[in-house]
Structures are given as structure tokens and as C-alpha cells.
Structure 1
Amino acid sequence: MQEEILHQLRKHPLQNLPVMGFFQNYPLENAVISGESMILAGTSDYTWAYLAVPEEDDMSALLEKFDFKSLYFANVEEWMIPHLTRNHRIEWRLSTHRYYLPDDIIVDTPINECKSLSPDHVSYIYQHSPYKDYTSEPYIRERIEKDISAGIWLDGELAGWGLTHDDSSLGFLNVLAKYRGQGVGENIFRSLIHSKRENQKSVFVNVEPHNRQSINLLTKLGLEFDRQVSWLKLV
């Protein structure tokens, strides 16, 4: 990523955590800039237009210059949606709450042994995913191959796992039903957090607002609420 763009993103680090994370993993294909606001596009599973817009006054000019070259938008805050839907409608939308881990919070090491996942686990993870409408086996394979992951094996089977999304956020946390309530998910998250920090990367997570169990886990580990954000597809 161009140093000038990265410099602008760092002026609003919390808002732009996923933007910086995504473009650490994927090439920047298109950049539209107005003042300190930007739309940055790159391709993972789709060509995502990431919104890095601290000033609402910049939004209309940005969208006009971008000309909706992609209809997939990420890092979308609530106030942005009326601008995006002025001449389009939403085909689908995934809304989450973003939590981040302040640098001064100490997280204990996991009690259970955690091991990295391999591409051999892709089908297993996909088959047990509650988000099949939003993911795919190729995407899971890419995330395992490109970034950190952690799994815990109990009774000879993969009992729980976690990895990262294309924006470098922690995610995909899942524990088989018969192993829940035993601290498996918490230990996986501890392992992922330590791996992130060893790589000097920021720790953040996107979780659906109704997922109280995950939110309770995140706050227990010291993560703090930042804002609501959405991914959406326009038509």
C-alpha cells in the first residue's frame, strides 16, 4: 500500500483497523481520495470497496468518483448507508459489532494445547460453519494458508477452532456442541491473541450483536466495543 494512503489511515486507527488489515493481505486495486476520506478496493472472495471516511461531507463526492465500480462494500457505518442506497438497494447485509483489544491489556496464555490448522481441515470447518451463506471452502483454505489459526483436539477429534478473516480480524470461532462450556473457545482466542501480538498486529473481532456468549467472552478477555459496522452487497 502507498505510504501516503497508509499515513492517512493511521490518523483514524480504530475506524480503519479492517482497512489496514485487508490491504496487508491483498493488493490495492483502486483508490479514490477526497480530503482525508478514501474508498479503497481490492479482491479477496469478492472485490471489496473499503470505506475509510471520517467526514460525512466527503461521502457524496467519493461515491461519485468511485462510480460504484464494485457493489460490495465493507467497513460500512450506519450513517453511510443512506448515501450508498440513494440510487441502489441492499441485496444482503451482514452487520456486526467490532471489539478491539487495547495494547495495555495482558491476556493469559491458553491452558489447552493449541495447534495451527492445515488445509486438510477446510471441509470439516466449512461443514460445521453456521455462516455457509457468507463463506466458502476456498476462502477458508486461503485464510488458513495466509494467516494464523488455532485448533484444540479432544478425544482424537478437532473440538474447536479459530482463524482470521480477510481483514485480519479474529473469527471463525466454533466449538463442537459436546465440548462447549469447557473453556475451549476461550483458550483458542487466547492462542490467537498471543499469535497476533507476536506478529505485532492489532487484535480486533467482529461479532453479531445477538451473540451474547461471544461478546461475554471478548469482554472477559479485555476487548472493548468500538462501533457497529456492516458488509453489504448492493444492486
Structure 2
Amino acid sequence: MQADLLNHLQSNPISNMPVLGFFENYPLDKHVVYNKSLILIGTSDYSWAYLSVPEPNDLDSLLEKFGFESLYFANVEEWMIPQLTRNHRIEWKLLTNRYYLPEEIEVEPTDKASGPLDSSHVGYIYQNSAYKDFTSELYISERIARDISAGIWLDDKLVGWGLTHDDGSLGFLNVMSEYRGKGIGEAIFRTLIRGKLENQKPVFVNVEPQNKQSINLLKKLGLEFDRAVSWVKLA
């Protein structure tokens, strides 16, 4: 990424955490600038248009310059939706709340044994995912290869796991139903958080607003609410 774009994004690091994280993992294909606002396009599972718009009045002109070359948008705040859908409809939308770990918060390690995931776990993770409409085995395989992951095994069985998304956020947390209530999810999150901190990377998570159990866990670990953001596919 060009130094001027990187410096611009780093001037507001919390707002731009997913943008910085994505383009640390994937090449920048194209960018569009209007005043201090940006659309940056890169490809993971899809060609994603990441929005960084500190001034709402810039968005219409920014989208006009962009020309909707991609219909997949990330880091979308709710106030952006009317402009995005002026000439398009939403095919699907995944709304989440973003939580992040402030720099001064320390997270203690877990006493539960865990280990990293590998390619042999991809099919199992996908088959047990509640988000098959938003992911694929190829995406999961790539995320395991590119970043940290953690799994917990009991009775010779993988019973809980977590990894990261293409923007570096923690995600894919899942504990098999018969093993819930045993602190496995918390142990996995603690392991992932400490892995990110050891690599000197920001810790943030996107969680659906109705997932109160995960939100309570994030708050327990010291993460704070930042904002609501969506991934949106237009048509």
C-alpha cells in the first residue's frame, strides 16, 4: 500500500482497524479518493470495497468516482446504506457490532490446553458453521494458513475452535453444543487475543447484536464497543 494511504488510515486507527488489517493480508487492487475519504478494493473470497469515510458529505461523490466496480462492500456503517442503495438493492447484509481491546487492557492466559488448527480441520469447521452462506472451505483454509487459530480437543475430538477473518478480526468461534458451558469459548478467545498481542496486532471482533452470550464474554475480557458495521452485497 502506498505510504500516503497508509498514513491516512493510521491517523484514525480504531475506525480503520479492519481496513488496515485486510490490506496487511491482501494486495490493494485499486483505490478511489475524494477529499479525505477512501474506497480501497482488494480480493480475498470476493473483491471487497472497503470504506473509510470520515466525512459523510464525501460519500456520494466518492461512490460516483468508484462507479460500483464491485458490489461487495465492507466496513459499512448504517448511515451509508441509503447512498449505497440509491440505485441498487441489498442482496444480503451481515450486520455486526465491533468490539476492540484497548491497549491498556491485559488478558490473562487460559489454563485449558489448546493448539493451532490445520488444513485437516477445514471441512469439519465448515460443516459445523452457522454461516455457510457467508463463507467457504477455501476461505477457511486460507485463514488458517495466513493467521493464528486455536482449537480445543476433548475425548479425542475437536470440540471448539476460533480463527481470524480476512481483516484480521477474531471470529469463527464455535463450541459443539454438548461441550458448551465449560469455559471452552472463553479459553479459545483468551488464546487468540494473546496471540494477536504477541504479534503486536490490534484485537477486534465483529459479533451479531443478538449474540448476547458472545458479547458478554467480550466485555468480560475487557473489549469495548466501537460501532455497528456491516458486510453488504448489492445487486
Query: Matched residues in 2 for 1:110 and 1:151: separation?
Result: 13
* Equivalence map 1:68-83=2 (5 Å): 68-83=68-83
Give the Å deviation of 1:105: 0.4
Deviation of 1:10 after TM superposition, in Å, equals 1.2
**Structural mapping, 1:102-181, within 5 Å:** 102-181=102-181
| Percent of paired sites with the same residue | 66
Q: Structure 1 residue 196: deviation in Å?
A: 0.2
CA RMSD of aligned residues (A): 0.6
TM-score by length of 1: 0.99
Which residue is equivalent to 1:206? 206
| Separation of aligned partners in 2, 1:96 and 1:118 | 27
Quick one: distance in 2 between partners of 1:107 and 1:120? 30
Q: CA offset at residue 169 of structure 1?
A: 0.2
The equivalent residue for 2:98 is 98
Matched, 1:17 2:17: yes
Query: What's 2:63 paired with?
Result: 63
SS at 1:83 equivalent: helix
- Give, as a single letter, the amino acid of the residue that structure 2 aligns with 1:80: M
Deviation at 1:90, TM superposition (A): 0.6
Q: Deviations over 1:144-164 (max 9, x none)?
A: 000000001111100100000
TM-score of the pair, normalised by structure 2:
0.99
User: 2:54 matched to 1:54?
Assistant: yes
Q: Which amino acid aligns with 1:58?
A: D
Number of matched residues? 235
Gaps of 5+ in 2: none
- CA displacement, residues 163-221 of structure 1 (integer Å, 9 cap, x when unaligned): 00000000000001111000000000000001001110000000000000000000000
- Show structure 1 runs of 5+ residues with no match: none
Q: Which amino acid aligns with 1:118?
A: D
Q: Which amino acid aligns with 1:201?
A: K
Listed as ranges, the matches of 1:186-205 within 5 Å are: 186-205=186-205
SS in structure 1 at match of 2:106: coil
Q: Structure 2 CA distance, aligned partners of 1:159 and 1:89?
A: 39
Consecutive aligned runs of 4 or more in structure 1 exceeding 6 Å deviation = none
The whole-number CA distance in structure 1 between the counterparts of 2:62 and 2:75 is 15
Please report how far the alpha carbon of residue 34 of structure 1 lies from its aligned counterpart in structure 2 after TM superposition: 1.1
SS at match of 2:14: coil
Distance, in Å, in 1 between the alignment partners of 2:10 and 2:83 is 24
- Looking at structure 2, the residues matched to 57 and 211 of structure 1 have their Cα atoms a distance apart, in angstroms, of 33
